[in-house]
Structure 1
Amino acid sequence: MAYRRLLLPLTGTAAGEAALHTALMVARIWNAHVHCLHVRVDARDVAPLAGEGLSGAMIEEMMAATERESGERAGRVHALFERFVQGLDVTIALNAESALRTEGPTLSFESIAGREEDVVAQQSRLYDMAVVPHPEADDDVSSSDALHAVLFDSGRPVLIAPRQPPATLGTRVCCAWNGTAESAAAINAALPWLHRAEQVRLLHSEGYQRRGPSVEGIRAYLRWHEIEAEAVAFQPQTREVGAGLLGAARDFGADLLCMGAYSHSRLRQLILGGVTRHVLENADIPVLMCR
């Protein structure tokens, strides 16, 4: 199996541009199609939030202002997409028939109105994988609606792009294993990458392990898929498991990290911190996650 269809929820930020580069790298590897989706704010969603005490004229003015701002933002995102494709050896394809007739990666762009988290989660179900921009440096990871929508509501893997486009992708792959259903789903979603990789390393730790099979169990599973993976234990850094995991991936020279997301509840991780949160906020390589 290969990844043939990728969804990129596109923003007009530097992180969005880096995600474009990362998504195109993935598309070149798998000869895939990248559909860039920008979700505009629907002005009709503003009215219920306006509250009592506002006249109809005030609400209409607020909706009109929202429509203008949303349209301007959509124009900037589309301009970013147009600048990106200029001079690149890629084809714009609007359907599967034209994409499949093309040698090499293809791209498309669409801007629609709606609630970003709903649209992205629902549309992602029709793609092999979503590529999501890295949370901005000054944003809390909990505010990334598109990221969490894909993780929790799409049933699809999500590749979180780093803040800077990587030099390579998927040649040296680390898989974080802790025995959970989430980590098993992530490794299953990553099988095409693992078959292609030059080296694969399974990272595990006593402080990371949950109830479930040990690392030797998943290592034996991968052998059935003719994938030989090295199992290496990592040590948390200053009691931070996420930092230890990223440090171990860095020591390996990994250009892709595969892991399950939110083995604990999302609320607990947002309040107390956790491995998923630390990795989302601090990873400088692409991270493939499943929930």
Structure 2
Amino acid sequence: MKKFVKASLVAAMLAAPVMADEQFGGIGVTIYQVPAGVFVAEVIPGGPASETKIKSGDVIVAVDGVSLKGKTIDFSKEQIRGQIDKPVELTYVSEGDTLSAVVRRTSMLVKDFNAEDVAAWYGDKDEFNAQELETFASGSETDKQLLAVLSRGSVVAGDAEKVSASNLNGVFVKKAEVVAPKVNSNKGVKSNGAVLKGFSRNSIAFTLKTAGTTVVKVSDPNGEVVATVRVDNAPAGFNSVAWNSENIPSGRYMVSIEQSFGISGKFAVLK
């Protein structure tokens, strides 16, 4: 690995193990360049890429059809980074299979942590455990959500007992707003007892406590309904409905199951 010039990448990349504060649109991975493309060293917990099947050890070979083979890390960085909220298609090789995934770039912030500030927070010592670092980092960006702490460009494991106070970065995203199903009523929302059982590209499965006409809605993180499926006279018990997800990017969605007398909702990940 020492033969490669490793560059940490958070949705695109940290150009060096330690860097100044930087904000950009990215997908949440750390990488370094190899001849075939970019090697995924780590997937940042909670980032857009973590909602796909991309994992450590995979190699991203193309971005939106643009090959990364034989390119530089700077070129790969430019392809992976981009406009916030814009979907991007990644072609990658995993265990010999060539696969693809669509992710939506999010606004990410990589922030340096000064060793003196960390020490001042917890007293005069050079090493900390992961929990102490997470506590310190979480309080440094009140309007953002902490995804991970990096030490020399690598994600600090949650069970790490000793971490140096120097060369630290925090990876943040904008705090997500909780999206609730929209209901045109001034009387409050009554649950209908429905339970989401499955959410895939081809079908949505759920159980109903009471039979009746049912409307299933899929809403994006902004609360906008991206798909609606109506089931007339749905029976009590298990139901499975087909839906069209062809133009819907991977990500986290609210799936609401509505009947005339009540509504149930649950967040689910579309891969």
TM-score under structure 1 length normalisation: 0.22
Identify which of structures 1 and 2 has the higher relative contact order when contacts are C-alpha pairs closer than 8 Å and 6+ apart.
1
Instruction: Name whichever structure is richer in helix by fraction.
Output: 1
Whichever of the two has the greater Rg, that structure is 2
Instruction: Name whichever structure is richer in strand by fraction.
Output: 2
TM-score under structure 2 length normalisation: 0.23
